[in-house]
Structure 1
Amino acid sequence: MPAGAGGSLLLAAVLALLLTGPAGARDAFGPGIHELEPNTLVPAGDPRYAPAAYPDRIVASPAADPARGFQVSWRTAAGVEAPMLELVVAGDSPAVGEPRRVAARSTAFATENGAGSQHQVAVDGLEADTLYAFRVQGGKGWWSPWRQLRTAAAQGTALEFLYFGDTQNKNASHGSRVLLEALRHAPDARLALFAGDLVSGGDGEDDNEWGEWSDIAAPVAATMLVAPLTGNHEYFEEFEDTPQERRVLGPHWPHMFALPGNGAPGAEATTYWFDMHDARFVVLDGTSALDLGTAAAQAEWLDGVLRDSPRDWSIVAIHQPMYSPREGRDNLLLREHLMPVLARHSVDLVLQGHDHTYGRRAGENGAATPQYVVSVAGAKQYLLSEEARDTMAPVAEDTQLFQVVRIDGDTLRYEARTVTGRLYDAFSLVGDRDVGRRIIEHTDGRIEQRDCGRSATLKGRTDRCWE
């Protein structure tokens, strides 16, 4: 063997391993080593997300009237009792002035990462369309950085908001790109709506998953209100594989988010509504409707919330779709109970998740409203059914997306963009609610339809594109 050949062969072997990964770690698009990533980036046994004296997981969510208030939740180590939130009208000087102080309600909460305390504050009595700075207290002298958010404005003021489908899997490694790109395209957004399955759960590291979700959401949550939905992965199976098996809301949900508390009977912790500018937003719980028998109660509640709305636009969000774009799924119970209410009140947008694809479908008989949309932000990607390809347009597989919605007077403009910011879908709803909306499709600049192009995942599953 010539001098140096052994080293060259060794280098070639190392490069080959790096490029191809272990045996079988290839896919239709070439090297697939990135698919071997675990669901979280936290090494086994690492205490990265152990509760500490400093406050983390800070999320501000809407009050029923976000023009006059909002609610904040955060976490610390155990033993931090009734910490404070400080609030000031934001100014141009670091001399913020004398802050208003509001004491938190604190609850002990133990997780895989140790015992902690969750804190929640309801802030009220604020001025509309006003920029406030706030910070929250931890233990041992800790305070969070100051954050800023603007209260909702009066009716007649334009509103921009973000909508994300399921984040769920590999939040830190892949979901982070989606949220950061969304901020580039919606610099004036006042609200971020997450359509459920924020985390996957059930893998023994739920708290790590919630920690990573909080990390990727932090840039969004630092500047706007966050409106979360429960998905089926926010629930877990109690008494699994026994006659007593039932769905139970996971313990993180009521601690992670402080919500308006005006929900449907039987689903008070996971349904709510609020008004912002010219729109009424209504959040439903599809898992509770399908598995816990609350479909009829939610439909009756929804009917009342929409009937009494003084706002020109209505946005309804639910995790499970009315029309499922994934093969083998059919949420008939939702269509029986909820769809008649959505149609009767001419809801403008129904924003959904769950099926890890993209698809849009018009109302009955091609009506402009409601527009039913399913989207996905995270790394898990399913395949479309043939029915979805026949009845929805546009559709997409193998694509992480975010949505920007802007409501201004008699026009709602919707855009779906890929994680790299490319335009995938766009339309406007135009006209008076009482007379009826018309839809204008915006096709200029849209990229071509995206399909998976592979026959199976690395694990051999043929019902999805990415694990």
Structure 2
Amino acid sequence: MKRFQILFFTAFLFLCANLLFAQINAPSPIPDRVVLNLTENPATSVAITWRTDVSVSEGFCELQPAAEGPLKKEDSKTFKAKTTTIKYEYGDEPVIDANQHSFIFTDLIPGKKYIYRVGASDFWSEWFEYQTPSVENDKFSFIYFGDPQNDLKSQWSRVIRSAYRHAPDCGFMLYCGDLINRAGRDVEWHEWFHAGSFIYGMVPQVMTPGNHDYNDLMLDPHWNAQFTQPTNGPKGLEGTCFVIDYKNLRIISIDSAVDSELENENGYPMQAQKVWLDSVLQANTKKWVIVTTHLPFYSPKENRDNKHLRKHFQPILEKYKVDLVLSGHDHSYGRGRVSDNPQAGHKVMYVVSVSGPKMYEAGDKDWMEHSGADKQLYQLISIDGNELSYQSYTASGELFDEFILNK
């Protein structure tokens, strides 16, 4: 009898351990996955999103100017967030029921440091510090990542942490799609949030989706639930196609992963984005323009070439003298200033990069001024008046490539 009890207790412990491991990505009443996103007006507003379990039916944000010492409760303003209940399902893995909470802080003072926390009742996050950009066109920097995608906790984590250590005062971090490998798989999002941890709560994130962020033509349900990105793009592409003005830079996200990588050239996603892109570039008053998208206009991979992107979008980019296009997808590195239309009189600088450990070979293509393979990279881009400085670094912090654009 005693032996049976021991065996039963051992089996029970084993079952509990398995259930605990399977639910490692499950939410709790304590806020997690706290992430900032840039709004279309970053100097005076910032978006915040986080997650709890469904027992927390309301979420709140507390905000106050950054103090030099201990916080005073009376200095905080409290705001009620929007709360949405989401069910995440993926294959035979445990279903995740969560409440996603989001709020946009508005009427902030440009250039001012704030601290905030999120939560409800007895369950709160730590206090995060965030500084709004000033309205002056002084120097600023941001970090650009190609696809994270694979081994996010074990290997991609060192890249984002190395980038943050290199430039902790960067204005934002920008991603060119494929944040995870299998759209809708919550355990992979658990790894992505683990990798960046507190960084996401202090540095705003900007992301355009990749083909791995879609599944059967459907955007991962996590995307617009756990990120609060601008909705100023074409109808139906909210949160994936948008424009942001940051100091003297206009950032434009083109969703090249939608509609099976814009396979239908006469379809709504392609045609609507073309019209929209022309309109936001025509109305642009910023000195610098950078477009971010997943599929490269020019691929470093020998057997890939996205001619349809160049056919439909390149004439618009050249018409308005866009400076730089940042992309991912091909898991190697290539960059060059090139055009299919020499008569246009303007050549855009195109970059393809990768930050995760999944690697492809880089071909020997004429368009590339610099290329490389088998390197996990992050890019630090700085703008100072009439000069844009670009530097690409390996995961170990070694300089790999650099160039300067001057107006």
- Both proteins in one fold, TM over 0.5: yes
Structure number with larger C-alpha Rg: 1
Equivalent residue pairs, number: 376
In the alignment, is residue 102 of structure 1 matched against residue 102 of structure 2?
A: no
Which residue of structure 2 aligns with residue 72 of structure 1?
48
In the alignment, is residue 231 of structure 1 matched against residue 203 of structure 2?
A: no
Q: Which amino acid aligns with 1:183?
A: Y
In the alignment, is residue 195 of structure 1 matched against residue 171 of structure 2?
A: no
Maintained 8 Å contact 1:295/1:334:
no
Aligned counterparts of 1:363 and 1:153: Cα–Cα separation in 2: 34
In the alignment, is residue 329 of structure 1 matched against residue 304 of structure 2?
A: yes
Aligned counterparts of 1:308 and 1:217: Cα–Cα separation in 2: 35
Aligned counterparts of 1:44 and 1:378: Cα–Cα separation in 2: 28
Change (3 A) 1:181 1:285: same
Q: Deviations over 1:394-453 (max 9, x none)?
A: 11111000000110111110000000010011111112xxxxxxxxxxxxxxxxxxxxxx
Aligned counterparts of 2:263 and 2:75: Cα–Cα separation in 1: 50
In the alignment, is residue 425 of structure 1 matched against residue 401 of structure 2?
A: yes
Maintained 8 Å contact 1:317/1:352:
yes
Q: Deviations over 1:35-69 (max 9, x none)?
A: xxxxxxx9995321111111011111011100010
- C-alpha RMSD of matched pairs (Å): 2.0
**1:358-397 equivalent positions in 2, closer than 5 A:** 358-364=333-339, 365=342, 369-387=347-365, 390-397=366-373
Maintained 8 Å contact 1:295/1:333:
no
Quote the offset at 1:215 in angstroms. 1.5
Q: Which amino acid aligns with 2:349?
A: Q
Aligned counterparts of 1:78 and 1:116: Cα–Cα separation in 2: 5
Which of residues 341, 345, 357 in structure 1 aligns to 2:316? Answer: 341
Maintained 8 Å contact 2:337/2:367:
no
Aligned counterparts of 1:201 and 1:372: Cα–Cα separation in 2: 27
Maintained 8 Å contact 2:111/2:131:
yes
In the alignment, is residue 290 of structure 1 matched against residue 262 of structure 2?
A: yes
Aligned counterparts of 1:359 and 1:108: Cα–Cα separation in 2: 42
Which residue of structure 1 aligns with residue 390 of structure 2?
414
Unaligned runs of 5+ in 2: 1-17, 89-93
**1:78-89 equivalent positions in 2, closer than 5 A:** 78-89=54-65
**1:259-270 equivalent positions in 2, closer than 5 A:** 259-270=229-240
Aligned counterparts of 1:303 and 1:316: Cα–Cα separation in 2: 12
Quote the offset at 1:115 in angstroms. 1.1
Quote the offset at 1:291 in angstroms. 3.9
Aligned counterparts of 1:397 and 1:227: Cα–Cα separation in 2: 25
Which residue of structure 2 aligns with residue 181 of structure 1?
162
Maintained 8 Å contact 2:176/2:209:
yes
Quote the offset at 1:142 in angstroms. 0.8
Which of residues 105, 112, 116 in structure 2 aligns to 1:130? Answer: 112
Unaligned runs of 5+ in 1: 1-41, 238-246, 432-467
- Comparing 283-292 with 190-199, which one deviates more in the overlay? 283-292
Which residue of structure 1 aligns with residue 375 of structure 2?
399
Matched position secondary structure for 2:117: strand
Quote the offset at 1:218 in angstroms. 2.3
Matched position secondary structure for 2:141: strand
Quote the offset at 1:367 in angstroms. 7.3
Aligned counterparts of 1:166 and 1:216: Cα–Cα separation in 2: 14
Maintained 8 Å contact 1:90/1:133:
yes
Q: Deviations over 1:231-250 (max 9, x none)?
A: 1111001xxxxxxxxx1111
Q: Which amino acid aligns with 2:373?
A: E
Matched position secondary structure for 1:381: coil
When the two structures are superposed, what TM-score results if normalisation uses the length of structure 2? 0.88
**1:8-87 equivalent positions in 2, closer than 5 A:** 45-87=21-63
Structure 1 residue ranges, 4+ long, deviating more than 3 angstroms after superposition:
42-45, 365-369
Aligned counterparts of 1:79 and 1:107: Cα–Cα separation in 2: 12
